[in-house]
């Protein structure tokens, strides 16, 4: 094959100051060199060499860039349209897929938060008070709600309402409700200091306890122990196995108790009251000592919103009243405030998401909305609107997907805010069921 040689006129020493040297611009020689190029053979000692992922990637790059579709060396710097210039861009994606060094990361699907209520119940005569707990959702998927002088049981599965009890004295009204852990026993506190324990399956009264000096506005269970908080500032623990025998009595607050809640591991009890204080008690020390473990004084208004974190048993969330409007996260292992956020309105209730690091807050004395926030930053994710008055109570479904909210506008709304978005139904927000109308009188 003919190979042109360099001209003596193109030597590096040739040319003058106006005509630069053209030794690097001999196009005949450059084309011949490219067309005669063949890839070097691998040494014998490298024939059985196991290439690394980087070597394999380099080999594929050389193969795609330097060899055309017919296996011939590709000509470089071709200044005309040819098939060699039509490179396929898809090979880059193939290299990324085939490369063993490319990790496959799971992609988390974006969760859509439903901002409309799935169901609305008409709840006439729901009392508007800061110190009462008038709704609770049991493990058997039954919602207990106190309306005026009566307590109703609403079955979520069958959407049927049953009257559990009704008082005949206007001054002796139900002031607090709490389901046992198995969802078969309901404790009902009254304004006249009485506590009744009901078998919800047989709809039968099984016990009566009288220990407080005023209305019982807070109730919660810890196994067979029923804890109650009253307007007398006391917390009393009752053993329901022995006719409500008093196990311990705690002088908790100087004002009426507004909130009472056991931690997820049933070790610590949190109490909030009208004296703007939050106390944390250790179950293991209640009988020997009535002294609280920690006392938090950072709130400037009554504290009724209490919620223990489901994935960190020592983490407690608290919310302040109208003149406070803050949400605070506490580490009850050392008594420190971890995070605080100013909401600008009264915090009436708090509920943690059992599946994600989120917390739901109910508000009043302002926009009367429900806000979903991320944890631990407490950054607002979305607002849920619909109630026309302040949102008083929260209760979460047994599977953790739905939250029921009770408001002073005498409605109960169900929000699937913690679960998957519900399928749109024809009724939507117009599906209203009246507890009073559904009761057979």
Closest CA to 118 of 156, 66, 148, 151: 156
In whole angstroms, what is the distance from residue 386 CA to residue 117 CA?
8
Backbone angles phi, psi at 197, to 5 degrees: -110, 125
Per-residue pLDDT of the chain (441 residues; tens, 9 = 90+): 555 555 444 444 555 555 555 555 666 666 666 556 555 555 554 455 567 777 777 777 766 655 554 555 555 544 444 444 444 444 444 444 444 444 555 555 566 788 899 999 999 999 999 899 999 999 999 999 999 999 999 999 999 999 999 999 999 999 999 999 999 999 999 999 999 999 999 999 999 998 899 999 999 999 999 999 999 999 999 999 888 789 999 988 999 999 999 999 999 999 999 999 999 999 988 876 778 999 999 999 999 999 999 999 999 999 999 999 999 999 999 999 999 999 999 999 999 999 999 999 999 977 899 999 999 999 999 999 999 999 999 999 999 999 999 999 999 999 999 976 445 554 444 344 444 433 322
Question: CA 176 to CA 110: how far, in whole Å?
Answer: 39
Alpha-carbon gap, residue 206 to 180, rounded angstroms: 14
Helices and strands counted in the chain (H then E): 4, 29
pLDDT at residue 150, as a whole number: 97
- At CA 51, angle to CA 46 and CA 53, rounded to 5? 160
Neighbours of 67 (CB within 10 A): 14
Helix (H) or strand (E) holding 155: strand 150-155
What is the Cα–Cα distance from 198 to 181, expressed in whole angstroms?
A: 14
pTM of the model: 0.72
- Name which of 198, 199, 203, 229 is nearest 216 in CA terms: 229
Distance separating the N- and C-terminal Cα atoms of the chain: 110
pLDDT of residue 24: 56
Q: Report the alpha-carbon distance of residue 210 to residue 193 in Å, rounded.
A: 6
Distance CA 15, CA 54 (A): 46
DSSP E strands, 365-399 = 370-374, 380-384, 391-396
SS3 350: strand
């Amino acid at each position: 094959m003919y190979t042109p040689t360099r001209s003596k006129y193109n030597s590096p020493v040739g040319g003058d100051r106006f005509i630069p040297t053209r030794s690097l611009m001999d196009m005949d020689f450059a084309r011949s060199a490219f067309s005669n190029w063949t890839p070097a053979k691998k040494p014998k000692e490298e024939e059985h060499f196991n290439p690394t992922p980087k070597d394999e990637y380099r080999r594929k790059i050389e193969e795609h860039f330097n060899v055309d579709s017919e296996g011939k060396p590709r000509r470089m710097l071709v200044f005309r349209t040819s098939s060699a210039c039509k490179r396929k861009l898809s090979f880059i994606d193939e290299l990324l897929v085939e490369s063993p060094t490319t990790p496959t990361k799971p992609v988390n699907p974006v969760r859509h938060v439903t901002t409309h209520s799935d169901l609305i119940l008409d709840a006439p005569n729901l009392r508007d008070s800061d110190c009462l707990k008038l709704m609770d959702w049991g493990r058997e998927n039954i919602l207990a709600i106190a309306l005026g002088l009566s307590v109703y049981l609403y079955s979520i599965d069958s959407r049927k309402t049953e009257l559990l009890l009704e008082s005949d004295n206007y001054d002796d009204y139900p002031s607090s409700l709490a389901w046992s852990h198995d969802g078969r026993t309901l404790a009902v506190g009254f304004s006249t200091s009485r506590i009744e324990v009901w078998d919800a399956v047989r709809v039968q009264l099984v016990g009566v306890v009288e220990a407080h000096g005023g209305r019982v506005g807070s109730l919660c269970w810890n196994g067979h122990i029923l804890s109650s908080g009253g307007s007398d500032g006391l917390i009393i623990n009752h053993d329901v196995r022995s006719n409500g025998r008093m196990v311990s009595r705690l002088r908790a607050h100087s004002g009426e108790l507004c909130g009472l809640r056991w931690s997820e591991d049933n070790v610590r009890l949190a109490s909030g009251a009208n004296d703007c204080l939050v106390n944390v008690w250790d179950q293991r020390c209640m009988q020997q000592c009535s002294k609280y473990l920690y006392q938090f004084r950072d709130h400037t208004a009554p504290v009724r919103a209490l919620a223990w974190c489901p994935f960190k048993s020592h983490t407690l969330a608290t919310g302040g009243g109208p003149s406070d409007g803050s949400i605070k996260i506490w580490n009850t292992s050392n008594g420190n405030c971890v995070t605080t956020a100013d909401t600008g309105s009264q915090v009436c209730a708090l509920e943690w998401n059992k599946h994600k690091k989120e917390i739901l807050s109910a508000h009043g004395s302002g926009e009367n909305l429900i806000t979903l926030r991320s944890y631990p930053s407490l950054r607002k994710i979305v607002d849920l609107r619909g109630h026309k008055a302040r949102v008083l109570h929260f209760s979460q479904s047994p599977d953790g997907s739905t939250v029921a909210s009770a408001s002073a506008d005498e409605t109960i709304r169900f929000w699937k805010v913690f679960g998957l978005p519900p399928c749109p139904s024809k009724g939507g927000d117009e599906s209203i069921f009246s507890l009073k109308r559904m009761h057979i009188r």
